[in-house]
């Protein structure tokens, strides 16, 4: 980006924001307490909105801000429509990252001294050596780099990362104690969030873990109750494990692979058909399977062969049920820790084989339509991912398609690996999934699109895979099998489950990428004993599914994703042995992990201000309640409506009743906003746990969830390593809070990734500042604006357009479509003001201008509250705008709005025609500029166009939309009336279709619902002014020639320009010190004072009001202009020209005559004008 020229506007906005935030804080504007029962406040609807508390291991960034801005905008809108609102904000510290980082710092001091002296590194960026042959369809938040890598770039050591935050060595040393993180980053988060103007009740802020004993007590209560209801169980769960160390390998134990978790595969069993190769003769009589690890079990219907790498070493080994599996040794080692092999943690090798020894074998594969398939060579298989065995689906895998095509096209390649033609040539891709835009053979189509020549085009293949795999996962439709017609997203897990139940597949786990322990051991995924939440249990799942239709999700795609998540989600491990958090109440060797202590904490928001308001760690206790006073019975009484008052408590009943009333008053959560990546985990757990904790009270279950896409910065992913990164504090300093909020609203709303563009943010600053300056200007000239009845055509259109803009913006806010709200409530709203300012020749009306300012400020305030609060005060309004009411509107006059748009569109077309006319005559010498025009208006369409419109309407209604143009053309060709117009028919059809897309089905009507001639006549002054001509006639096409009739149709007037003769006259202003001088103007036959005044006003921009102009003539038109002016009586010898007088011109004699009620008077060639 180019450097800014200046920051004066930005600085003014920042000053305004600081002042407004201090005012809000001083007056406790956003502190919300439950109202007294029966009070007027209690009768209002409430709105309780929450955002997943961010993790406190660094400064908040723009990605956090984008998601939480949705809460903020929604809260602002709900306040305007009269609801009592609560937006609390917690700070998450549970889990491994803080403890792991602290331990790293401690180890670095131990290993490298203080301050540490690190050895030079050649390349510290972690590289994934061999990507999977199948891209993982997974949380969009996860990329090739971990979040840590994205934030820290190529910095390897934790000390270096802390240095990059601007900390000195002495301060960094303190972070070796985990508790310091909990003291350092939460205040910064509160400061940063406050700087963007969040409407948060900061009394209700807290940190998690046992560092806050109140929250610790709350989580222990939750888990005790969950265990009592059989929702928490104990058993084996998958985890990253170091065989050498004999224990789970958590982040702090890893030298590489921080943040890596288990990746689930479906292990496809392809049965070997005899005869067996020599090395496997000992296995005859047993079931021998080549096992392929796939992320896409739904594609197994399209298997055509099995791929092996000719030079990779494979092993045959025994598994628990006596069968024999063939895979790489590395994957067999993983399986041995997952209960798959005959002996846990051991691999019983039967034989070792090179891939080329296994080529050309017959296999029986599950779900494929082929009786047998063959093992074939693929040269791009990697040994360090999956099993080294790859099942081939060339219909949907670009890699498979390219490799199979290579074998089909290259006989020498087949001969090299002793593969016969019958193993390859008969096998064609099988259509199994329909993907919009790619058809049912997506791999073939995408390979052709990217011009992929062979399996060695690695970069192109990677791009092609990402393109079709993600789209196939979210939008693909299954074409075969029992789930035919369903989305891949919906059936993926069902197909996997079915194959497992039939014995055709297994669940197999590997680390997402390589993990090395500190003891230099390559880690595996192992089944280990853990406490887990029994998500997926049928009765529990049924209750959640029954509630899901009652949850407002704002998106069909999000609803589908929830359905899919609920369908496949099973147990979730809720215990960890390392990190920060709350100890498992009945098994304190374990900690409750971070996704499990964050499922119902929204209930804690309702009471924490009474427990420890003013402190995030519970150290301040405004009502004297102690953590040890919060017994199970106390928590039950607060949160369960049927619980009795606890027998043993020292908390006064009125105080405990107040806690209970706060919960009952605010719960349930009306809206929770999050990134879409939390749908399959946190947000689904959130639903499950609310159902479990309030099983008999569905009124406490969540009401609304909004999931949004992630945020790109300047069209690229945010990453510190590339410099494409902004923290919240940096964004506010760079764009102001309102400028940042404006751009966040404009970035996007859907499930797709949004885009924050810095250039647009800069433009937003200018737009906001310009609006502020315009408001100040209007206030300064308020008394000079037009008053009286606001009843001109343009007044009425502007008033109705404001009503429509307000109503459209209301609807957008209600749908949480903030980009749309900004479009209708600012961009388009400003545009209707600009249009009114341009079109209203009489000048803007004072009442309408200030209604616009009032309403614009109100409807923009949820997005840009600081500027709007400032303007609210400038306008002299009482109270805060954040407590004001949404503007009232009247019924929208759509016909009036369409007629106003018709006027603007017509003027635009007239200007285009005038410009084209002038450009076409540039080459001709001495061509005069047009002075007048005739506008032709058609009351009806020509007969052939009427027939086309009628047929198009019939076709549209019969097909629920326009059919293909070929169909339309065929239908039109059948009409006798149209035969001689066929060259014009389809161009007219295309024009009509464009109009329908723009204006809806009204574009097919044969007549307009307003009188376009009347609209034009009412606005002749505007048309004359905007076209800079002298006069316009309005006529209907009934008297026009055929060419004009062809050019003109209802809603599309046609103008013909002409030059009329005139005589030039000099107009002189005799008023001293007026700043007005002389002007030379043409006078046309039939001119009046009004016409000349309008012409003079266009010529002299200093004249603001043409109605104040008076014209005077000389009594003696010959000698009068020659006499010296009489300073004592400047109007001596002059006579005012009356408003009813008409001027006539004789161009031949260069003479102008005044035709009044009396005799004609020669005016000479000079007149006077006064204001």
Could you please report the per-residue DSSP string of 132-180?
-SS-----TT--SS-HHHHHHTT--SHHHHHHHTT--HHHHHHTTSHHH
Q: Under DSSP, is residue 1055 helix (H, G, I), strand (E, B) or coil?
A: strand
Sign of CA dihedral 767, 771, 776, 777: positive
Helix (H, G, I), strand (E, B) or coil at 326: strand
Query: pTM to 2 decimals?
Result: 0.79
Output the pLDDT for position 943. 87
Q: Are strands 433-434 and 477-478 parallel, antiparallel or unpaired?
A: antiparallel
pLDDT 10s digits, 741-794: 999 999 999 888 999 999 999 999 999 999 999 999 999 999 999 999 999 999
304: pLDDT confidence band, cut at 50, 70 and 90?
very high
DSSP readout, 451-468?
A: T--STT-HHHHHHHHHHH
* DSSP-derived pairing of the beta strands 46-50 and 671-675: parallel
Residues in the chain, overall count: 1171
Calculate helix-pair angle for 458-475, 398-409, nearest 10 degrees: 130
Task: Quick: pLDDT tens for 411-470.
Answer: 999 999 999 999 999 999 999 999 999 999 999 999 999 999 999 998 899 889 888 888
The rounded percent of the chain whose pLDDT value lies above 70 is: 95
Mean pLDDT of 476-504: 94
Angle of helix 632-639 relative to helix 653-666, nearest 10 degrees, comes to: 50
**HSE, side-chain direction, 13 A CA sphere, residue 687:** 31
DSSP letter string over 752-782?
SPEEE-HHHHHHHHHHHHHHHHHHHHHHHTG
- Whether the pLDDT of residue 132 is over 60: the answer is no
Indicate whether 253 pLDDT > 70: no
In this predicted structure, what is the pLDDT of residue 131?
35
Question: Looking at per-residue confidence, does 590 or 149 come out higher?
Answer: 590
Distance CA 710, CA 693 (A): 31
Number of alpha carbons in the 13 Å side-chain half-sphere of residue 1127:
1
Q: Are 402 and 445 in contact (CB under 8 A)?
A: no
pLDDT at 122 over 60: no
Q: Return the closest-CA partner of residue 529 out of 232, 230, 238.
A: 238
- Cβ-Cβ contacts under 8 Å for 265 (sequence gap 6 or more): 293, 294, 295, 386, 507, 508, 509, 510
pLDDT digits (tens, 9 = 90+) for 609-660: 999 999 999 999 999 999 999 999 999 999 999 999 999 899 999 999 999 9
Alpha-carbon gap, residue 1076 to 578, rounded angstroms: 85
* 1115, 1134 contact by CB (below 8 A): yes
Choose the weakest-confidence range: 294-298, 491-495, 1041-1045: 1041-1045
φ, ψ for residue 290, nearest 5 deg = -85, 130
Q: Assess whether the previous peptide bond of 562 is cis (omega < 30° from 0).
A: no
* pLDDT of 950 over the 50 cut: yes
pLDDT of residue 922: 59
Strand order in the sheet with 1142-1146: 1142-1146, 1151-1155, 1161-1162
Binned at pLDDT 50, 70 and 90, residue 212 comes out as very high
pLDDT of residue 1065: 92
Which percentage of the chain shows pLDDT scores above 90? 71
Give the three-class secondary structure for 610.
helix
Rounded Cα gap, residues 690 and 702, in angstroms:
8
Closest C-alpha to 1017, from 992, 1036, 998, 999: 1036
**Residue 136: band (very low, low, confident or very high) from pLDDT cuts 50, 70, 90:** very low
CA–CA separation, 984 and 1122 (whole Å): 64
Backbone angles phi, psi at 554, to 5 degrees: 65, 0
Q: For 534, phi and psi rounded to 5 degrees?
A: -85, 55
- Tell whether the model's pLDDT for residue 823 goes beyond 70: yes
Structure tokens at 422: 């019958």
Distance CA 88, CA 90 (A): 7
pLDDT above 50 for 4: yes
The predicted pLDDT at position 1159 comes to 58
Give dist(CA 660, CA 1063) in Å, integer: 89
Can you point out the beta strands (E) in 984-1068? 1031-1036, 1054-1058, 1062-1068
Among the ranges given (808-822, 979-993, 1121-1135), the one the predictor scored with the smallest mean pLDDT: 1121-1135
- 264-273, 995-1004, 1054-1063: segment of lowest average pLDDT: 995-1004
Taking the C-alpha atoms of residue 22 and residue 1114, their distance in angstroms, rounded to an integer, is 67
What is the pLDDT confidence band of residue 1157, given thresholds at 50, 70 and 90?
low
Question: How sure is the predictor about 671, in pLDDT bands with cuts at 50, 70 and 90?
Answer: very high
**DSSP classification of residue 549:** G
pLDDT band at 75 (very low <50, low <70, confident <90, very high): very high
Question: Across all residues in the chain, what is the average pLDDT?
Answer: 91
pLDDT one-digit tens code per residue, 707-748: 999 899 999 988 877 788 999 999 999 999 999 999 999 999
119 pLDDT above the threshold of 60 = yes
Dist. CA 762–CA 746, nearest whole Å: 13
Question: How high is the pLDDT of residue 250?
Answer: 63
Helical (H) or strand (E) element with 516: strand 516-517
Q: Tell me the per-residue pLDDT of 683-707, one tens digit each, with 9 for 90 and over.
A: 999 999 999 999 999 999 999 999 9
Phi, psi values for residue 646, rounded to 5°: -65, 140
Is residue 113's pLDDT more than 90? yes
Segment 1030-1046 shows an average pLDDT of 90
- Tokens 């790859």 label which residue? 390
Report how far apart the first and last C-alpha atoms of the chain are (Å, whole number).
51
- What mean pLDDT is predicted for residues 399-410? 95
Model confidence at 926, in pLDDT bands (50, 70, 90)? low
């Amino acid at each position: 980006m180019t450097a800014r020229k200046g920051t004066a506007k930005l600085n003014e906005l920042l000053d305004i924001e600081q002042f407004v935030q201090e005012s809000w804080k001083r007056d406790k504007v956003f502190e919300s307490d439950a109202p007294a029962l029966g009070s007027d406040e209690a009768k209002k609807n409430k709105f309780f909105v929450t955002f997943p508390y961010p993790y406190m291991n660094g400064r908040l960034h723009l990605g956090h801000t984008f998601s939480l801005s949705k809460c903020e905008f929604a809260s602002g809108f709900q306040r305007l429509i009269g609801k009592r609102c609560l937006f609390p904000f917690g700070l998450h510290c549970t889990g491994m990252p803080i403890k792991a980082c602290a331990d790293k710092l401690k180890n670095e001091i131990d290993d490298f001294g203080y301050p540490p002296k690190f050895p030079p590194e050649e390349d510290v960026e972690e590289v994934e050596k061999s990507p999977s042959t199948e891209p993982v369809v997974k949380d969009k938040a996860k990329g090739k780099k971990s979040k840590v890598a994205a934030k820290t770039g190529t910095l390897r050591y934790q000390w270096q990362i802390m240095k990059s935050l601007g900390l000195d060595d002495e301060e960094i040393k303190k972070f070796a104690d985990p508790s310091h993180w909990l003291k350092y980053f939460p205040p910064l988060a509160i400061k940063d969030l406050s700087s963007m103007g969040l409407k948060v009740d900061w009394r209700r802020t807290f940190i998690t873990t046992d560092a806050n004993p109140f929250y610790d007590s709350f989580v222990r209560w939750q888990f005790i109750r969950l265990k009592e209801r059989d929702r928490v169980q104990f058993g084996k769960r998958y985890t990253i494990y170091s065989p050498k160390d004999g224990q789970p390998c958590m982040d702090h134990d890893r030298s590489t692979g921080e943040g890596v978790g288990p990746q689930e595969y479906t292990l496809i069993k392809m049965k070997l058909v005899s005869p067996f190769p020599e090395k496997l003769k000992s296995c005859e009589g047993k079931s021998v399977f080549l096992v392929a690890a796939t992320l896409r079990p739904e594609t197994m219907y399209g298997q055509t062969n099995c791929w092996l790498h000719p030079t990779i070493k494979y092993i045959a080994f025994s598994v628990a049920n006596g069968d024999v599996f063939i895979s790489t040794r590395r994957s067999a080692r993983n399986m041995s820790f997952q209960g798959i092999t005959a002996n846990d943690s051991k691999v019983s090798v039967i034989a070792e084989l090179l891939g080329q020894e296994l080529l050309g074998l017959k296999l029986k594969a599950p779900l494929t339509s082929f009786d047998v398939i063959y093992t074939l060579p693929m040269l791009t298989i990697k040994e360090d991912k999956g099993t080294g065995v790859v099942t081939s689906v060339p219909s949907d895998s670009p890699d498979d398609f390219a490799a199979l095509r290579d074998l089909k096209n290259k006989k020498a390649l087949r001969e090299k690996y002793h593969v016969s033609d019958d193993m390859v040539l008969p096998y064609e891709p099988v259509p199994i999934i329909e993907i919009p835009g790619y058809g049912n053979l997506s791999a073939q189509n995408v390979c052709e699109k990217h011009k992929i020549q062979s399996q060695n085009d690695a970069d192109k293949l990677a791009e092609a895979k990402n393109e079709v795999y993600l789209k196939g996962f979210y939008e693909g439709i299954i074409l075969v099998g029992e789930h035919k017609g369903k989305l891949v997203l919906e059936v993926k897990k069902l197909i996997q489950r079915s194959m497992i139940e039939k014995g055709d597949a297994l669940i197999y786990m590997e680390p997402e990428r390589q993990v090395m322990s500190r003891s230099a051991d390559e880690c595996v995924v192992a089944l280990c004993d853990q406490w887990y939440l029994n998500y997926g249990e049928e009765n529990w799942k049924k209750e959640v599914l029954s509630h899901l239709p009652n949850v407002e999700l704002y998106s069909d795609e999000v609803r589908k994703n929830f359905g899919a998540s609920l369908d496949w989600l099973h147990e979730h491990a809720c215990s960890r042995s390392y990190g920060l958090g709350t100890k498992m109440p009945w098994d304190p060797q374990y900690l409750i992990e971070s996704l499990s202590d964050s499922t119902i904490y929204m209930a804690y928001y309702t009471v924490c201000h009474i427990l420890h308001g003013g402190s995030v760690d519970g150290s301040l206790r405004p009502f004297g309640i102690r953590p040890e006073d919060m017994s199970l019975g106390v928590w039950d009484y607060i949160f369960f409506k049927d619980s009795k008052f606890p027998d043993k408590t020292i908390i006064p009943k009125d105080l405990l009743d107040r806690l209970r009333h706060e919960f009952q008053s605010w719960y349930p959560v009306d809206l929770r906003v999050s990134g879409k990546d939390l749908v399959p985990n946190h947000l689904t757990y959130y639903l499950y746990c609310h159902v479990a904790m309030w099983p008999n009270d569905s009124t406490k279950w969540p009401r609304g969830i909004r999931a949004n896409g992630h945020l790109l910065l300047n069209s690229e992913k945010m990453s510190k390593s590339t410099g494409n990164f902004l923290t919240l504090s940096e964004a506010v300093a760079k764009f102001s809070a309102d400028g940042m909020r404006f751009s966040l609203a404009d970035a996007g709303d859907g499930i797709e990734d949004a885009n924050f563009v810095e250039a647009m943010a800069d433009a937003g600053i200018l737009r906001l500042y310009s609006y502020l300056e315009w408001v100040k200007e209007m206030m300064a000239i308020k008394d000079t604006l037009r008053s009286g009845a606001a009843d001109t055509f343009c007044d009425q259109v502007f008033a109705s357009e404001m009503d429509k803009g307000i109503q459209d913006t209301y609807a957008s806010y209600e749908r949480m479509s903030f980009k749309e709200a900004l479009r209708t409530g600012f961009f388009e709203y400003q545009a209707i003001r600009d249009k009114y300012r341009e079109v209203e020749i009489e000048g803007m009306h004072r009442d309408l201008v200030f209604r616009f300012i009032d309403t614009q400020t109100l409807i923009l305030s949820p997005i840009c509250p600081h500027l709007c609060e400032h303007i609210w005060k400038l306008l002299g309004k009482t109270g805060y705008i954040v407590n004001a009411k949404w503007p009232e509107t009247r019924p929208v006059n759509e016909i009036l709005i369409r007629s106003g748009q018709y006027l603007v569109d017509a003027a635009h077309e007239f200007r285009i025609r005038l410009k084209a006319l002038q450009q076409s005559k540039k080459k001709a010498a001495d061509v005069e500029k047009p002075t007048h025009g005739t506008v032709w208006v058609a009351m009806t369409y020509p007969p052939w166009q009427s027939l086309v419109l009628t047929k198009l309407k019939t076709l549209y209604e019969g097909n629920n939309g326009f059919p293909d143009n070929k169909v339309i053309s065929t239908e039109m060709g059948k009409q006798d009336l149209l035969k001689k117009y066929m060259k014009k028919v389809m161009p007219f059809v295309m024009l009509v279709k464009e109009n329908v897309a723009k204006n809806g089905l009204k574009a097919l009507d044969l007549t307009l619902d307003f009188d376009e001639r009347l609209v034009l006549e009412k606005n002749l002054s505007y048309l004359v002014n905007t076209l800079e001509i002298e006069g316009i006639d309005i006529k209907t096409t009934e008297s026009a020639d055929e060419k004009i009739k062809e050019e003109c149709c209802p809603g599309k007037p046609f103008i013909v320009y002409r030059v009329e003769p005139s005589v030039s006259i000099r107009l002189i202003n005799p008023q001293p010190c007026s700043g007005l001088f002389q002007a030379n103007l043409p006078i046309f036959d039939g001119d009046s004072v009004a016409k000349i005044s309008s012409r003079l006003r266009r010529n002299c921009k200093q004249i603001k009001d043409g109605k104040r102009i008076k014209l005077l003539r000389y009594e003696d038109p010959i000698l009068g202009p020659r006499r010296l002016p009489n300073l004592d009586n400047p109007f001596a010898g002059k006579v005012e020209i009356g408003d009813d007088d008409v001027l006539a011109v004789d161009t031949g004699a260069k003479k102008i005559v005044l035709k009044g009620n009396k005799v004609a008077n020669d005016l000479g060639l000079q007149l006077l004008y006064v204001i």
